[in-house]
Structure 1
């Protein structure tokens, strides 16, 4: 039995069960429970609270089938294991080496009985980074034919303790100056809205991203985000894209959390433009209504974006839109974050006429007057308390020209396309139009989704036109 099991705590822990719990305490009492170490969690949370976009901390475990309990329900065997982490707002698990017999099902659910759970999507690699369930308790349940009981296997490697968020939203409320995509200001940006996603990375941090097209028009689910969000070849498998997390009514309501695609691979990065490209391991279902954003990677010599929008998930909240009405300016080597812990990016600088960005907006897409993605959010100084601040988006054209992996993925046809229109996700994808022009192209993530690595600091921008250095007073995101 794992040493983390806290059997002696059962009496006091059951006293914390919500009044609405529909499961009989006596039934729960028969299910083995493992609790995280409260001191270890507290120490980890104290550190994580100071890290931008971090909402949860991992606690390692080594549990297997022997740590749970079996019962029989007719011709089915049922295996269950409870997990508990005191004071958690939400709970998730990482499970590896999953082997389910034919007809078997593995689920992760809260114990109150009133909130839907989540089923293992039967990944071929036997690895599952589960979604979060609300509260401090979670229940793993496997239901399978009795004859397949001996072939069932799994290893629970990690429990994730979320310390912010209500329900399973993993979000704090964004500032009041942010504009919901359900508001009229977003009416002209519905396609870009449907391409914008919130990214959860390693079940601990949030960023934004955009689903983008490629020149092969093959529906490959490519997502552009910021390199400083920290997605690597090693952790990309843990990335989950959340579509349609947005309100239905301007200024009120909650977003749904069910439209997720779990698992991705890293395609390439462009450090100079703070850009990363990932590909989801499966396409978003047609029911999501997702759209593949177009992009514009033409050189800066062919003109700057004159006006447009950014879409994003500030503080991991429901999707928001920010609008700009004056031309963006090209800046090279803009300093994001502190000189010791930050990074530099070749970016578009924009100032907002409506809305702003916050921690959690990192990686969100900047769109030009034609609705095409031209950059991903690196950092800046704009906020609800500094509406005149400038934000910086790693330039797509720079990412395209410095990363062959990104360029080849966006333009697999190899025809030098630097501008591409958007498509729908309806199985029969319409032909893409090449806007022509320019050498090299990259597609940046549409929709500023929830961000991972934002920090409110100073930013120094050297303009490409004058090489003058401008001090940005307050915020920049950093790793």
Structure 2
């Protein structure tokens, strides 16, 4: 190290605060009270809590690094997580929470959303190049205290408790139906959603008329609210959906190996342990229908995943659409109930198949129509908490309804038709699934799409924030000019692209 640089480091070290206002903080949390008051899909309670690296914690010097530490204990919590709306990580900074790395891939439009971490203590540490320590900023405004273990999805083998659900039976497991192409495809379209590090839901990856691989996910609007609202009907509702979309983490194709129905293997693990994407954009919402688009890149399985020998990237399937309104008695669109099904992440665990018989049109209020499905005996619990937002699907893998409310014995599906060809753009799902159609005149059906497993790239249509996920002109040209909507034209399109081949939250009544 030359003398000039050494003097710079010494000068920087002399400006470090020997002790800031507080290194440790302890707050109390009553999980039993939260459990009694929260909706069934909620697994953590947001708690306003400010942690500012500029005023809290301790700075020390380790060689040419400045080290910042702060510890928060939330007494009584089963898990902890945080949201930091203001964050700046100078180049070379290593930020960890409980030893788990938190880098730029945890930052969305609304700031950093942490992993959900086991235990009641949040131990933050940052190692920053000494000359840049003043540029490091982490301002936490909220922590999420876990209270419902069965939805938390942080379980490890040594902490799974009796409160965790039993294993998934073979008749409920999509992996046990390898000879059924319809179920296998739909399983690849189903995603487990976490919203605000506090709510667990199910979503479905949807096709659009361009077949360009945009990661459009259909789920229930109530999954995007932080209170007991069940419908998106006002501008305030739209605003909250837009804000909360930025916190969404989607985990793809979480399925148990057929026959492996132990309690431990029913759990999904942390979302980041498998294929996942963090950070979405609100596209359209009306009543209990919500369409969002993931703009964070799909991340591969963690390389240290024990025992995983599957593909490096997911082979996603894009579900089709049936938005024909059914306002008469009888089964949806005269389709026998035996030909309709749903794939869910009930109880926040790995995928389950749900079957219904009968399924009938059911008026709820204001003249609205839903489909009410009675759970087939033996399938109770496949539509439990965590399954809201799952889709009612036919034998052509077309989605006609979204799970909105119900219980273990019956489910109400909001008809997709209620959010189709609406006048207001932010209420109209059709504008995103048929982007070239005249607004208000989109077709009512769209075929599903299964991209080739051996080739293909897709680009998310997200925003232009700091992680630069906007489409490049080169990739856009390839997508326009190539076969299959451009999905088989480029093998190495750069950091903006997502390789496809490698690529339910219940309102309980």
Deviations 1:367-398 (A, max 9, x none): 101122221101235x2xxxxx4422112233
- Conservation of the 8 A alpha-carbon contact between 1:360 and 1:454: no
Change (3 A) 1:105 1:333: farther
Match of 2:144 in 1: 160
Aligned counterpart, 1:179: 172
Q: Report matched runs for 1:108-119 at 5 Å.
A: 108-109=97-98, 116-119=100-103
For 1:237, the equivalent position in structure 2 comes to 246
What is the CA–CA distance in structure 2 between the aligned matches of 1:292 and 1:282, rounded to whole Å? 18
Partner of 2:418: 398
Alignment partner of 1:190 out of 181, 184, 188: 184
TM-superposition CA deviations, 1:416-466 (whole Å, max 9, x none): 34212223486436737xxxxxxxxxxxxxxxxxx234213xxxxxxxxxx
Distance in 2, matches of 1:319 and 1:282, equals: 23
- Structure 2 contact 280–292 (Cα < 8 Å) conserved: yes
| 2:66 is equivalent to residue 77 of structure 1 | yes
Q: What corresponds to 1:93 in structure 2?
A: 82
Matched, 1:334 2:371: no
In structure 2, how many angstroms separate the alpha carbons of the residues matched to 1:304 and 1:199?
31
Shift of 1:210: 1.0
Q: Which whole-Å CA distance do the structure 1 matches of 2:187 and 2:87 have between them?
A: 36
Partner of residue 295, structure 2: 281
Structure 1 equivalent of residue 196 of structure 2? 202
The counterpart of 2:430, out of the listed 407, 427, 445, is 407
Instruction: Give the CA deviation at 1:407.
Output: 0.9
Aligned 8 A contact 1:345 1:394 in 2: no
Which residue of the partner structure matches residue 44 of structure 2?
Answer: 56
Cα deviation, residue 125, structure 1:
4.5
TM-score, normalisation: structure 2:
0.67
Distance 1:106 1:99 in 2: 11
Q: Check the 8 A contact 1:106/1:140 in 2, yes or no.
A: yes
**Kept after mapping to 2: 8 A contact 1:315/1:360:** yes
Cα offset for 1:219?
2.2
Match of residue 42 from structure 1: 30
Partner SS for 2:186: helix
Between 46-55 and 370-379, report the one with greater CA deviation: 46-55
Quote how far apart the aligned CAs of 1:218 are. 2.4
Per the alignment, in what secondary structure is the counterpart of residue 369 of structure 1? Answer: coil
Equivalence for 1:268: 284
Q: Which runs of 5+ in 1 are unaligned?
A: 1-30, 111-115, 336-342, 384-388, 433-450, 457-479
Counterpart of 1:377 in structure 2 is: 403
Q: Does the 8 A contact of 1:246 with 1:256 survive in 2?
A: no
Using the TM superposition, give the Cα deviation of residue 124 of structure 1 relative to its aligned residue in structure 2, in angstroms: 6.5
Superposition deviation, residue 311 in structure 1? 0.9
Cα separation, 1, equivalents of 2:195 and 2:206: 19
Task: Say if 1:195 and 1:290, in contact at 8 Å, map to a contact too.
Answer: no
**How many angstroms does 1:128 deviate by?**
0.9
1:217 deviates by 2.1
Distance in structure 1 (CA, Å) of the matches to 2:149 and 2:252: 18
TM-score by length of 1: 0.71
Query: Counterpart of 1:133?
Result: 117
Q: Which residue of 2 aligns with 1:477?
A: none
Please provide the CA RMSD for this pair.
Answer: 3.2
Partner of 1:455: 508
Residues 151 and 380 of structure 1: CA distance in aligned 2, closer, same or farther (over 3 Å): closer
1:255 aligned onto 2:292: no
Q: Counterparts of 1:237 and 1:344 in 2: how far apart (Å)?
A: 33
CA-to-aligned-CA distance 1:339-386 (integer Å, 9 cap, x gap): xxxx985323334445241122111111101122221101235x2xxx
Determine helix, strand or coil for the equivalent of 1:141: strand
Q: Distance in 2 between matches of 1:315 and 1:399?
A: 27
Task: Look up the SS of the partner of 2:355 in the other structure.
Answer: strand
2:193/2:251 contact within 8 Å kept: yes
Is this contact kept in 2: 1:245–1:256, CA < 8 A?
no
Structure 2 unpaired stretches of 5+: 1-21, 156-163, 226-240, 301-311, 327-331, 459-482, 486-503
